[in-house]
């Protein structure tokens, strides 16, 4: 490359401005996390008086003691794990065979079946008919209801179907030659070949299950069944409106703010723990089939 | 007659040889029928005087009465207005952001910095809306929130942002952008990765600056992706993140924050007026469908990209 001037002065200025703006963007993305983490281990008084901006002050774990001693917090945490693990398994058990069958060119009525799935991306009955349907099915306030009623999305099925379609048909022919039926073909050939796509879809399911709150809030009445996000909503949003509760906490070791911060940190930690693994895969997954021209 | 008989026998034939394939397909088809298509039959209560005792099918028809009620209801009309304004503003401000970010990431040549920046930019997407709302509440709190502490330091008055209708839209759109803009840039980065590198090489030989390369090569190359994302966005216009709005709004800000979906939630799920809320939902769904259909039509006319 010597002798060939790759970048002019204008290009260099451009590069510096670009890097600076991105640095600012990254810092503003990061700052709320840092602030919440710092508040969670600061004294209630320090947070209330505005001494905590970046670094924690008067370090104390009082807020965590208070949060972690609430049995409902642990119940909801366990429920979220349950909904996430089994919900994802239910989703995959329906999505994988369905997407596989849709990807077979000889499937009769394939065009109609594809439309049958994709149509729900553009039109759905809406909140109330969906709710009444769940009620009529007897799935109100039911753990099983939460597991199955949110198992599929058209988007995930189409993503996986596209991936299966991209696998050369010669694999199928070879396996059929060896006497494989559809089940062994899917299990022994297509699933192992589709690992990146399957991991991506599993991740989408996991993230949706872990973060879902709205329908859990609407469908579950029993406190023993609520997931973490519904518990968080009760503490963070509802209690915030309750001035009396908030002011009753000020001036002790912890305040309403530090408790909220501690709850947020406690519920983000698992996400952060699996995040590096997540990131490795979704990049690839989205590139694969999210948008097709 | 005979051709349809042939079809039926052909179908019988494939069912016999390919029964395994249909067995694999069955759970998904049943799931779609039970959880997505059956509720569509429930849409009829938008035209009925719904009674819990008589059920969906036993209730009496009332025609368009509920729609008349809705369109005489100022609160519903207000929610339509708010839905469109919030959608319009997020189209103007939030939609271009991930495109700009992707272009900026792409111009970053330091590999470690690039990777770190992207990792951090994607992170908020994985945080739940409940937590984001919690952070917003905590940052904007009138007594202890950091925003007000800073305002006070510079001699401004403290404001309770979340009870002031004027601030609702900027807060909603701003925090949604914080959460999603980074992650949404992935799609555009994927599109940029597919651009033929020789285009850049020849442009550089011709002496094009980096700015010119973005305008002349990168942007036009990812235009199909931008259009498809725009169509999807337009289809979702009437959905406007209501799960997040429910967490963030309060009666004091309903004037600017109450959208069609939150109206349906309050009237239907909280107020048990199922028939009226279903009518509102049907209106919502039909508008969404018309929007995405027309966006797709227009895009197919103007360019070659479309969703179907």
Confidence of residue A292 (pLDDT cuts 50, 70, 90): very low
Q: At what angle do helices A9-40 and B111-122 cross, to 10 degrees?
A: 40
Answer yes or no: do B28 and A152 touch at CB < 8 A. Answer: yes
Residue B198, phi then psi, degrees to nearest 5: -65, -25
Chain B neighbors of A30, CB-CB under 8 A: 120
Q: Is residue A52 part of a domain?
A: no
pLDDT at A161: 93
Q: A235: domain range?
A: 71-289
The burial class, CB within 10 Å (0-12 / 13-18 / 19+), for B65 is: middle
DSSP B16-77: HHSHHHHHHHHHHHHHHIIIIIHHHHGGGGGGEE--TTTHHHHSEE-TTHHHHHHHT-HHHH
pLDDT at B222: 92
Q: Is residue A220 part of a domain?
A: yes
Which of B25, B187, B209 faces A8 most closely, judged by CB atoms?
B209
Q: Is residue A51 part of a domain?
A: no
End-to-end distance of chain B based on CA atoms, in angstroms? 33
Residue with tokens 């049995």: A71
User: pLDDT by residue (tens digit) across B235-282?
Assistant: 777 878 899 999 999 999 999 999 999 999 999 999 999 999 999 999
CATH fold, domain B64-302, is MetI-like fold (1.10.3720)
Answer yes or no: do A29 and B101 touch at CB < 8 A. Answer: no
CA-CA distance, A245 to A257, in Å (whole number)? 12
Give the residue extent of every domain in chain B: 2-61, 64-302
Q: Is residue A61 part of a domain?
A: no
pTM to 2 decimal places: 0.89
Residues 6+ positions from B158 with CB-CB distance below 8 Å: B142, B143, B148, B151, B152
CATH number at residue A127: 1.10.3720.10
CB of B77 within 8 Å of a chain A CB? The answer is no
Q: Is residue A12 part of a domain?
A: no
Which of A30, A108, A218 faces B11 most closely, judged by CB atoms?
A108
User: pLDDT by residue (tens digit) across A36-79?
Assistant: 999 999 988 888 777 888 888 888 898 898 889 889 999 999 99
CB of B143 within 8 Å of a chain A CB? The answer is yes
ipTM over 0.85: yes
pLDDT at A293: 34
User: Which comes out higher in pLDDT, residue B38 or B307?
Assistant: B38
Q: Is residue A22 part of a domain?
A: no
Alpha-carbon gap: B180 to the closest alpha carbon of chain A (Å)? 11
Alpha-carbon gap: A126 to the closest alpha carbon of chain B (Å)? 6
User: pLDDT by residue (tens digit) across B120-179?
Assistant: 999 999 999 999 999 998 888 887 788 888 888 888 888 889 999 999 999 999 999 999
Count H helices, E strands: chain B?
18, 2
Above 70 in pLDDT, residue A5? Answer: no
**Residue of chain A nearest B231, judged by CA positions:** A122
Which of A14, A233, A268 faces B127 most closely, judged by CB atoms?
A268
pLDDT at A36: 93
Domain count for chain A: 1
Q: Is residue A132 part of a domain?
A: yes
Radius of gyration, CA atoms only, chain A: 25
Above 50 in pLDDT, residue B79? Answer: yes
């Amino acid at each position: 490359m010597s002798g060939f001037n790759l970048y002019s002065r204008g290009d260099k200025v451009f590069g510096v401005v670009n890097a600076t703006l991105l640095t600012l963007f990254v810092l503003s993305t990061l700052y709320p996390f840092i602030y919440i983490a710092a508040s969670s281990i600061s004294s209630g008084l320090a947070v209330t008086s505005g001494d905590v901006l970046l670094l924690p002050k008067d370090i104390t774990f009082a807020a965590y003691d208070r949060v972690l001693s609430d049995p409902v917090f642990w119940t909801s945490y366990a429920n979220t794990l349950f909904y996430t693990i089994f919900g994802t398994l239910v989703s995959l058990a329906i999505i994988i065979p369905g997407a596989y069958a849709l990807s077979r060119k000889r499937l009769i009525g394939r065009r109609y079946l594809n439309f049958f799935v994709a149509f729900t991306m553009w039109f759905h009955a809406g909140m109330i008919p969906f709710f009444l349907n769940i009620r009529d099915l007897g799935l109100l306030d039911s753990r099983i209801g939460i597991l199955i009623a949110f198992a599929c999305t058209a988007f995930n099925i189409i993503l996986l179907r596209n991936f299966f379609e991209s696998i050369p048909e010669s694999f199928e022919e070879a396996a059929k030659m060896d006497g494989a039926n559809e089940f062994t073909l899917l299990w022994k050939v297509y699933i192992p070949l589709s690992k990146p796509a399957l991991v991506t879809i599993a991740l989408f399911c996991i993230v949706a299950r872990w973060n879902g709150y709205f329908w859990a809030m609407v469908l579950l009445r029993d406190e023993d069944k609520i997931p973490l996000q519904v518990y968080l909503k009760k503490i963070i949003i509802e209690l915030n409106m309750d001035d009396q509760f908030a002011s009753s906490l000020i001036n002790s070791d912890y305040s309403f703010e530090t408790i909220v911060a501690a709850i947020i940190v406690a519920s983000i930690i698992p996400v952060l723990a699996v995040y590096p693994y997540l990131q490795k895969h979704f990049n690839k997954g989205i590139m694969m089939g999210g948008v097709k021209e | 007659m005979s051709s349809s008989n042939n079809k039926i026998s052909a179908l019988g034939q494939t069912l016999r040889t390919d029964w395994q394939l249909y067995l694999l397909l069955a759970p998904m088809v049943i799931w779609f029928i039970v959880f997505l298509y059956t509720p569509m039959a429930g849409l009829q209560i938008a035209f009925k005087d719904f009674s819990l005792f008589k059920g969906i099918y036993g209730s009496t028809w009332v025609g368009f009465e509920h729609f008349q009620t809705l369109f005489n209801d100022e609160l519903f009309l207000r929610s339509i207005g708010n839905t469109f304004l919030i959608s319009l503003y997020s189209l103007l401000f939030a939609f271009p952001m991930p495109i700009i970010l992707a272009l900026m990431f792409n111009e970053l040549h330091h590999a470690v910095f690039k990777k770190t920046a992207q990792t951090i930019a994607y992170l908020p997407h994985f945080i739940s809306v409940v937590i984001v709302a919690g952070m917003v509440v905590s940052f904007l709190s009138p007594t202890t929130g950091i925003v007000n502490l800073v305002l006070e330091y510079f001699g401004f008055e403290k404001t309770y942002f979340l009870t002031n209708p004027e601030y609702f839209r900027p807060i909603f759109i701003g925090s949604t952008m914080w959460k999603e803009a980074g992650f949404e840039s992935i799609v555009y980065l994927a599109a940029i990765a597919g651009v033929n590198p020789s285009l850049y090489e020849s442009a550089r030989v011709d002496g094009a600056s980096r700015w010119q390369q973005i305008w002349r090569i990168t942007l036009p190359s990812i235009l199909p992706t931008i259009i498809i994302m725009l169509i999807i966005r337009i289809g979702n216009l009437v959905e406007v993140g209501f799960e997040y709005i429910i967490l963030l709004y309060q009666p004091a800000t309903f004037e600017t924050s109450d959208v069609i979906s939150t109206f349906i939630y309050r009237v239907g799920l909280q107020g048990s007026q199922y028939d009226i809320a279903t009518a509102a939902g049907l209106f919502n769904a039909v508008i969404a469908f018309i929007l995405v259909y027309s966006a797709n039509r227009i895009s197919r006319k103007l360019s070659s990209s479309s969703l179907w």
